[in-house]
Amino acid sequence: MCGIFGVYNLPGDANAFRQRALFLSKKLRHRGPDWSGCTVAGNHILCHERLAIVGVESGAQPLTNDDETLILSVNGEIYNHKALRKMCAEGTHFKTQSDCEVILHLYKTMGADVVKHLDGMFSWILLDTKKNRILAARDPIGITTLYQGWNSKQPGTIYFASELKALNEECDRIIAFPPGHIFDSETGETTRYFEPTWWDGEKIPSNPVDYKLIRESLEKAVRKRLMSEVPYGVLLSGGLDSSLIASIAARETQKIINGTVPLNKDGDDVDESAVASWPRLHSFSIGLEGSPDLAAARVAADFLKTVHHEYTFTVQDGLDAIADVVYHLETYDVTTIRASTPMYMLSRKIKAMGVKMVLSGEGADEIFGGYLYFHAAPSAADLHTETVSRVKNLHYADCLRANKSTMAWGVEARVPFLDKSFLEVAMNVDPQEKMSFKGKMEKHILRKAFDTSDDPTAQPYLPDSILWRQKEQFSDGVGYSWIDTLKDTALAKVSDEEFAKAAARWPQDTPQTKEAYWYREVFEQWFPQEACTESVVRWIPRGDWGCPADPSGRAQKVHDSAYDKNAPHA
């Protein structure tokens, strides 16, 4: 993953703005510490800060075609790039081994429809100098980040950047570019290209659960995300989601080592070079001393035989990092900041080891109704509608957290649960199968899909204690005193008098707790412009289901009594 910055239709001499563009792009250099590029064409500028994962030696950007009439700046990975190369016109000349260059060449034959063929996580800007046309697109779920901005004093000029901090000094209106959409300057419109069968949350699916299909679809999603020319690892909290991804990655890595994976089959791209130099899978976990997650991650790592790296932090370490976390996350959402802080610190440790890419478990809770507040869903239909809504809004929450917490240190996080094909399978399951009640744990069908206890000849994916471990939100699992201390710190930092005036200070999206007030104040210190708040959305449980407003899993009544722990799993 990388950092991109672009300006379309600058007034006056674009070359005069070049140094300013380089300065703004530099604000994204943590995302791409390996190289920088800048191209000026007419009155347009495209910049790129590169993190080299694929095509390491030849993939510097912005990319251009042979006559340099097409210019492309990309953040992300295109997993099916080798299959797409076969769709290019005969005789197409590829300048690099970059997985992203294929976008340029397919654009020549299919125009904006190229985005519909991409399988990956991406945000990109493509400039067609012949047509004076710019396209900007973001991946279907918003795994990568992208912002679009305007300056009212420069009508007709449009700004794009991977992060808010590159735009807030130039633009008086900024939005989070919508996932699954493409902007075309020819029409001036931003349209949705991603049209999965499950998009309408009011249409309730009725497909029976197919455990084999769920298992095989997730395995394929992990396998394609092993595409890398650099060492990679897995984030391992010891919860179900990250442990499953780690288990599958360990199996697939071993298959590559053994030569039993058919490379490039069905568009899958698995590069053996990373495995050759990093033959054992490395796993990474973090928590306060004695945290539930550290203990569980240790069990999972021992079982999977990963090279495990365990890091502890102190509450003071976390408190000291809050201001930097808000700067990098560009949000004041309570649950995002709570969870991002330990992930941010862990990413720094990972980068120090020379690892550039990790697999992570984001998305499973939204897909399968895994958060503990889902126990309060009034009906299966309500649960399904909520899962669709949560998946659609992941770019404001867990995707934003995973992307920016890791990219703050130049580490790329890949999320197999949000694979397009896997979503087609999982989001079309009858939601009655996802309902949680006594004797049936949250994410029951996902657990059953990887439960091999009825087959004595099968190699288990995970120990039973991990496969059937109750949901523990990451910000809780790192140690219960983490959230407790954040609340206590906010009580000390924000006076009753200040809090009483919160609505007057922030009439829009007024903080409801002193902790939220504290984060909002820190956010405003970094991003004082009014335009910066439009892209922030707060994550809260469903109050109309009777759930507490505090997003912590421990705040939900079912945390200690969600199910009968002695009941059968079936």
- Coil, strand, or helix at residue 127? strand
Q: State yes or no: 143 annotated in a binding site.
A: no
Q: Hey, how many other C-beta atoms are within 10 angstroms of the C-beta on 167?
A: 27
Nearest Cα neighbor of 401 from 446, 450, 352, 365 is 365
Convert 59-96 to b/e letters by CB count within 10 Å (16 or more is b).
Answer: bbbbbbbeeeebbbbbbbbbbbbbbbeeebeeebeeee
Convert 205-233 to b/e letters by CB count within 10 Å (16 or more is b).
Answer: eeeebeeeebbebbbbbbbbbbbbbbbbb
What residues pair up with 134 in beta bridges, in sequence order?
A: 127
Q: State yes or no: 76 annotated in a binding site.
A: no
Q: Is the backbone of residue 50 left (phi > 0), alpha (psi -120 to 50) or beta?
A: beta
**Most distant pair of Cα atoms in the chain: their distance:** 73
399 is catalytic: no
Give the length of the chain. Answer: 570
Q: Tokens 């009155």 sit at which residue?
A: 43
Handedness of CA 75, 414, 315, 390 (dihedral sign): positive
Convert 410-423 to b/e letters by CB count within 10 Å (16 or more is b).
Answer: bbbbbbbbbbbebb
Helix axes 315-329, 398-407, angle to 10 degrees: 100
Q: Hey, how many other C-beta atoms are within 10 angstroms of the C-beta on 53?
A: 25
Q: State yes or no: 6 annotated in a binding site.
A: no
Q: State yes or no: 360 annotated in a binding site.
A: yes
Tokens in use for 57?
Answer: 């030696």
What residues pair up with 217 in beta bridges, in sequence order?
A: none
Query: Which residues neighbour 271 within 8 Å (Cβ) at sequence distance 6 or greater?
Result: 54, 226, 227, 228, 229
Q: Give the dihedral of Cα atoms 242, 248, 254, 259; nearest 10 deg.
A: -140
| Contact status, residue 44 vs residue 134, Cβ threshold 8 Å | yes
* CB-count burial class (<10 Å; 0-12, 13-18, 19+) for 260: exposed
DSSP state at residue 545: G
Q: Which of 2, 100, 171, 399 is catalytic?
A: 2
Q: State yes or no: 99 annotated in a binding site.
A: yes
Distance CA 185, CA 517 (A): 39
Q: Give the dihedral of Cα atoms 339, 345, 351, 357; nearest 10 deg.
A: -10
Distance CA 169, CA 188 (A): 24
What element of type H or E holds 232?
A: strand 232-235
3-state helix, strand, coil in the chain (%, to 5): 45, 15, 40
Write out the binding residues. Answer: 99, 235, 286, 360-361
Known binding residues for ATP: 235, 286, 360-361
Q: Which residues are catalytic?
A: 2
Binding site members for L-glutamine: 99
